[in-house]
């Protein structure tokens, strides 16, 4: 049986980013890391690198810059120069702009498949060895670590096991980690759209009585659509022929980008706010969607998990102890608590406020949008949350 310092279970966006954040320090310390993942990037079933795109915050760019990956990622990252927020059927709108915030971009939209490729290419196999395709089927706590059973019946021991196996984590359940699960009764329909007019780096967040939608700028003048609707309605939209779908989307989105000409493959994601009740135990950390899955409309889920991953790597590398020391893991958890609470709260409240059909709530959000545009401090606060800088006084 082999033993390593760290085993990262799940090589999705979060697991791979953690491996990269640890890589240089691990090399210096002689640590051995294993990344275990059933599907290599580019495989159609790899959940992290499917047809989705991610809006990376300005804070995420800073992290990837620090890791020396940004130059590669930025080759296919579309900068968000402005965000246009509107409420269908009401006059109020708000605009956030990169120039007003004094940043080169409010964020960047990257296709997950491209991001995955950049992350996996950045891994140094001498420090991070891959077990792919492979899956962990069992985790057993030991006094000084964890014993993992893989699907080929091989055993692997580690000082620290990091669970980054996604929102439906079967291993979290196996370990008896409780979750709070609040379904939104909504699904996100995603697809790429080609409009007739240039998007010019403008991202649109549009709120309607039937749920919020986002249209984010992509390279080659495409846009990534995230359209949130009640579950049955989302299924109906996914089943429409291309022309009927585009015509319904056009009637809800309007003509801000001219005629919507083409739609790519549509996928559905049922949505819930799921939070693990524990994120650390001795020799165990839970990260990414396995720790918290958020509603996608505010584009915060992966950005938050990337900050968690960087903070966990910093905590492990700043300590003299062997990875897995509970005090170090608890200190990491404390450091990220405020960021997680604010980001999860922001994302959840924006979603619920902007999904409500109650007349008073509609009036409040209309006033909120007007106030946001008229009040520079409120707008700045909103922009910082959207850029993933909300809890970082240093930036």
Ligand X SMILES: Cc1cc2nc3c(=O)[nH]c(=O)nc-3n(C[C@H](O)[C@H](O)[C@H](O)COP(=O)(O)OP(=O)(O)OC[C@H]3O[C@@H](n4cnc5c(N)ncnc54)[C@H](O)[C@@H]3O)c2cc1C
Binding residue (CB under 6 A) for ligand X from 59, 122, 217, 301: 301
Binding residue (CB under 6 A) for ligand X from 6, 7, 14, 329: 14
Binding of ligand X at residue 310 (CB under 6 A)?
no
Q: Which helix (H) or strand (E) holds 316?
A: helix 301-318
Cβ burial of 205 (10 Å; 0-12, 13-18, 19+) is: buried
Number of residues that bind ligand X (CB under 6 A): 37
Nearest CA to 157 among 8, 321, 317, 7? Answer: 7
Binding residue (CB under 6 A) for ligand X from 211, 212, 299, 368: 299
- Least distance (Å) from ligand X to the CB of residue 305? 5
Binding of ligand X at residue 302 (CB under 6 A)?
yes
CA 193 – CA 191 distance, rounded (Å): 6
What is the β-pairing status of strands 107-111 and 53-57?
antiparallel
- Least distance (Å) from ligand X to the CB of residue 298? 8
SS3 217: strand
Residue 202 pairs with which residues in a beta bridge?
82
Binding of ligand X at residue 390 (CB under 6 A)?
no
Binding residue (CB under 6 A) for ligand X from 4, 6, 7, 9: 9
Tokens (6 digits) for 223: 């846009």
- Least distance (Å) from ligand X to the CB of residue 344? 12
Binding of ligand X at residue 305 (CB under 6 A)?
yes
Interface segment toward ligand X; rule CB under 6 A; list 93-101, 166-174, 248-256, 327-335 = 166-174
Interface segment toward ligand X; rule CB under 6 A; list 3-11, 83-91, 176-184, 199-207 = 3-11
Site string for ligand X, 146-165 (x = CB under 6 A): ------------------xx
Q: End-to-end CA distance of the chain: give it in Å, rounded.
A: 46
User: Which of the residues 22 through 81 are near ligand X (CB under 6 A)?
Assistant: 36-39, 46-48, 52, 54-55
Residue 198 pairs with which residues in a beta bridge?
none
Binding of ligand X at residue 385 (CB under 6 A)?
no
Tokens (6 digits) for 190: 């995603």
Nearest CA to 55 among 14, 105, 124? Answer: 105
User: Which of the residues 228 through 267 are near ligand X (CB under 6 A)?
Assistant: none
Binding of ligand X at residue 285 (CB under 6 A)?
no
Tokens (6 digits) for 163: 């669970």
- Least distance (Å) from ligand X to the CB of residue 304? 7
- Least distance (Å) from ligand X to the CB of residue 393? 21
User: Toward ligand X, which CB reaches closer, 55 or 260?
Assistant: 55
- Least distance (Å) from ligand X to the CB of residue 267? 8
User: Toward ligand X, which CB reaches closer, 5 or 112?
Assistant: 112
Binding residue (CB under 6 A) for ligand X from 135, 187, 192, 355: 135
Binding of ligand X at residue 218 (CB under 6 A)?
no
Site string for ligand X, 340-369 (x = CB under 6 A): ------------------------------
For residue 215, the Cα-to-chain-centroid distance in whole angstroms is 16
CA 306 – CA 14 distance, rounded (Å): 6
CA 207 – CA 84 distance, rounded (Å): 11
> Is the separation of the CB atoms in 280 and 287 below 8 Å?
no
What is the β-pairing status of strands 128-131 and 33-36?
parallel
> Is the separation of the CB atoms in 159 and 144 below 8 Å?
yes
The three-point CA angle 218-220-226 to 5° equals 30
CA 21 – CA 23 distance, rounded (Å): 6
Kindly list the residues in this chain that would bind ligand X in the complex (CB under 6 A): 9-15, 36-39, 46-48, 52, 54-55, 135-136, 164-167, 171, 188, 190, 226, 269, 288-289, 296, 299-303, 305
């Amino acid at each position: 049986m082999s033993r390593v310092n760290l085993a990262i279970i799940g090589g999705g966006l979060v697991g791979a980013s953690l491996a990269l954040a640890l890589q240089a320090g691990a090399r210096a310390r002689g640590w051995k890391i294993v990344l275990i993942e059933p599907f290599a990037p580019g495989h159609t079933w790899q959940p992290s690198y499917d047809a989705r795109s991610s809006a990376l915050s300005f804070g995420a760019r800073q992290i990837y810059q620090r890791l020396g990956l940004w130059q590669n990622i930025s080759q296919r990252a579309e900068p968000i120069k402005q965000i246009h927020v509107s409420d269908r059927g009401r006059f109020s709108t708000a605009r956030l702009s990169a120039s007003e915030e004094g940043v080169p971009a409010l964020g960047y939209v990257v296709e997950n498949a491209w991001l995955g490729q950049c992350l996996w290419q950045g891994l140094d196999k001498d420090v991070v060895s891959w077990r792919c395709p492979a899956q962990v089927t069992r985790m057993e706590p030991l006094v000084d670590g964890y014993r993992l059973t893989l699907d080929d019946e091989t055993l692997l021991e580690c000082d620290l096991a990091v669970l980054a196996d996604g929102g439906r984590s079967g291993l979290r359940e196996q370990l008896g980690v409780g979750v709070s699960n609040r379904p939104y009764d909504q699904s996100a329909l995603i697809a790429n759209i080609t409009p007739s007019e240039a998007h010019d780096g403008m991202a649109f967040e549009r709120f309607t009585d039937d749920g919020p939608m986002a249209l984010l700028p992509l390279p080659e003048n495409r846009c990534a659509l995230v359209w949130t609707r009640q579950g049955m309605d989302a299924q109906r939209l996914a089943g429409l022929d291309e022309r009927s779908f585009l015509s319904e989307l056009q009637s809800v989105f309007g003509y801000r980008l001219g005629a919507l000409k083409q739609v790519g493959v549509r996928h559905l994601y049922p949505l819930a706010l799921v939070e693990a009740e524990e994120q650390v135990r001795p020799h165990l950390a839970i990260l990414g969607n396995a720790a918290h899955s958020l509603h996608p409309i505010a584009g915060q889920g992966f950005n938050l998990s990337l900050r968690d991953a960087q903070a966990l790597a910093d905590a492990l590398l700043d300590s003299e102890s062997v990875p897995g020391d509970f005090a170090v893991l608890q200190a990491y958890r404390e450091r990220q608590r405020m960021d997680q609470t604010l980001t999860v709260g922001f994302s959840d409240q924006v979603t619920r406020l902007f999904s409500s059909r109650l007349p008073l709530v509609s009036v409040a959000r209309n006033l909120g949008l007007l106030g946001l545009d008229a009040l520079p401090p409120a707008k700045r606060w909103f922009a910082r949350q959207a850029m993933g800088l909300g809890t970082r006084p240093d930036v």
